[in-house]
Amino acid sequence: MSLNTAFDCVAGVSTALLVFAGAAVAPSAPKPQPVSDPRVVEVVAKRFAFEPTRIDVTEGETIRLMVRSADGVHGIGIKKFKVAEEIPRGGQPVMVEFTATAIGEFEILCSEYCGKGHEGMKGKLVVRAREGARR
């Protein structure tokens, strides 16, 4: 066997070993988990109501409220989910995003004084259990 032939054999075996070792050691990339986009709910704040007055969601669901004012300055507050945003006049929407992590009924309140009917300006967020969820 010539020196070149021996070298070619050793080089071939070395390359094969490196490829095999790399395949054995290289971890497989984790499969990406499907990420669902938040559900968008458009909300209008106006004297002295929210439209819609009730929002139904599922536990664990991420919600993106696009809230705009139809008249003056308002606010939106949902204490349980630490939502507190001012909604300026002019109709430009304000985005409020949160994940519904608790089951129940939660008040949606106007957090900015907007006139004599302010105290009655309420809505309701209803979070229901996921189907098949064990309690």
pTM above 0.75, yes or no: no
Looking at the chain, how many residues does it have? 135
Report the SS3 class of residue 2. coil
CB 85 within 8 A of CB 76: yes
Q: Residue 36 — very low, low, confident or very high, per pLDDT cuts 50/70/90?
A: confident
pLDDT at 96: 97
Distance CA 115, CA 26 (A): 65
- Mean of pLDDT over the chain: 83
Q: Are β-strands 62-69 and 74-78 bridged in parallel, bridged antiparallel, or unpaired? A: unpaired
Distance CA 109, CA 47 (A): 12
pLDDT at 122: 97
Hey, where are the domains in the chain? 1-30, 39-128
Amino acid at 104: G
Q: Residue 35 — very low, low, confident or very high, per pLDDT cuts 50/70/90?
A: low
Q: For residue 98, is the peptide bond before it cis, meaning its omega torsion is within 30 degrees of 0?
A: no
pLDDT at 132: 72
The CATH homologous superfamily to which domain 39-128 belongs is Cupredoxins -  blue copper proteins (2.60.40.420)
Q: What is the pLDDT of residues 71-93, one digit of tens each?
A: 999 999 999 999 999 999 988 99
